[in-house]
Amino acid sequence: MSDLPDALSVLYHDDVLVAVDKPSGLLVHRSWIAREATEFALQRVRDQIGQRVYPVHRLDRPTSGILLFAKDPDTARLMTEQFAERQVLKIYHAVVRGYLTDGVLDYPLKEELDKIADKLADQNKEAQSAVTEYRCIQQIELPFTVSKKHATSRYSLMELTPKTGRKHQLRRHMSHLRHPIIGDSNHGDGRHNRFFREHFGLQRLMLAATTLAFEHPYTKKTVRIELPIPNELLKPFAE
């Protein structure tokens, strides 16, 4: 039995576009990487609005938040071009280990390749430019020993704005800063991930896409879609 909601919350809907709030754990579409998955955001949205939709960007399976679809191939092409040309504002919120302040990280990333899906890709491709702005929203120190080096544990609620769109960019950039996102099984800290599961009952990646702003492909007006920070990300700071 799935823990995912039966219906996705529609955040924006017009004649050519529809945006939904994708829950953590839901794939955008079918993938070789997760063959066991039987539910996908693309099919959910199609069934909810009664017509075919086309993804114009991606969110990782464990990331929640704003996911935009087009209703026809031409609109999908126009929106995909906006994303590719970095004309879309994307803002995320995340909980990271430790105290992190404000800054900008300009750190190129080698493309992460999947052994099966990307077996024909260039394995020696040079690292690509990757830039992330980050701003601290709130910090907390909890009276729990998670790492043997420290009697207490510190966490920061961050606002993250990627200026490029590399695969797993935010997760990898935060890890590079030694402030990994909580719940990240690939780039994170297993001890802190376990603490969040056991103490807070939080088993998800603590990363959410909370703002998406772009130029409408036909009206040319700015569309800004926003979500509040999920309660799951705020829960540790209410201690």
Q: Which residues are catalytic?
A: 60
Report the candidate in 230, 149, 135 with the shortest Cα–Cα distance to residue 189.
149
103 within 8 A of 123, measured Cβ to Cβ? no
Bridge partners of 158, per DSSP, are: 94, 136
Backbone angles phi, psi at 183, to 5 degrees: 90, 0
22 within 8 A of 77, measured Cβ to Cβ? no
Burial, 101: exposed, middle or buried (Cβ in 10 Å; 0-12, 13-18, 19+)? exposed
Report the candidate in 17, 37, 12 with the shortest Cα–Cα distance to residue 27.
37
The sign of the CA dihedral 136, 63, 223, 84 is positive
Report the candidate in 150, 236, 230, 231 with the shortest Cα–Cα distance to residue 197.
236
**What distance in Å separates the CA atoms of residue 197 and residue 189, rounded to the nearest whole number?**
13
